[in-house]
Amino acid sequence: MHLSESLHEEIESAWRHFVEVGDSGDWNSWANLHSQDCIWVEHHLGTFHGREAIRETILRVMQPVPMMEFPVAWHAISGHRVVYYPWQVLPDPTGGDSSYRFGCVTILEYAGDGLWSYQEDLYNPAEGQAVFKSWMKAGGQLASTPTD
């Protein structure tokens, strides 16, 4: 499917905004970039239907790791779909340059108006757990969760 140059630019811009908001750690705003009826397939956590289910899940999942970063290694746009490779990175707890990261492939489907109707995240949960274990052994600490 060949898109007009202006639609391709719109999708590219919406994707860059999506990445910037995720990088900011403002997960409420990130959830708002999904359509009301969006589907998020997160192979380790499950499938979530609708913006509010996505919001509830992302706030819970990201609360203990506000220090994570997601540098993008590459991305491709084909039709209304964006596929990209964001590393999942934890900072070296010793202040050095040790690497604590694992890879992920994210697939997004553009719905228009800056919103996404589908997201799928693919990564190896065992690799992610091994990275977290290594990071914590080196001194990394999860953010404390508020109590009710």
For residue 142, is pLDDT > 70? yes
In a domain, 63, yes or no: yes
The per-residue pLDDT for 45 is: 93
Q: Whole domain around residue 56: which residue ranges?
A: 5-137
In a domain, 146, yes or no: no
pTM equals 0.92
In a domain, 18, yes or no: yes
Domain count, the chain: 1
In a domain, 21, yes or no: yes
Q: Give the residue from 90, 77, 86 showing the smallest Cα distance to 22.
A: 86
Using left for φ > 0, alpha for ψ between -120 and 50, and beta otherwise, residue 25 falls in left
Rg (CA), the chain: 16
Distance (Å, whole) CA 118 – CA 98: 34
In a domain, 144, yes or no: no
DSSP string covering the chain, please? -PPPHHHHHHHHHHHHHHHHHHHHT-HHHHHTTEEEEEEEEETTTEEEESHHHHHHHHHHHHTT-TT-B--EEEEEEETTEEEEEE-EEE--TTSS---EEE--EEEEEEEETTEEEEEEEE--HHHHHHHHHHHHHTT--PPPPPP-
In a domain, 147, yes or no: no
In a domain, 98, yes or no: yes
CATH at 32? 3.10.450.50
pLDDT digits (tens, 9 = 90+) for 118-133: 999 999 999 999 999 9
pLDDT digits (tens, 9 = 90+) for 15-41: 999 999 999 999 999 999 999 999 999
Tokens of 71: 């540098």
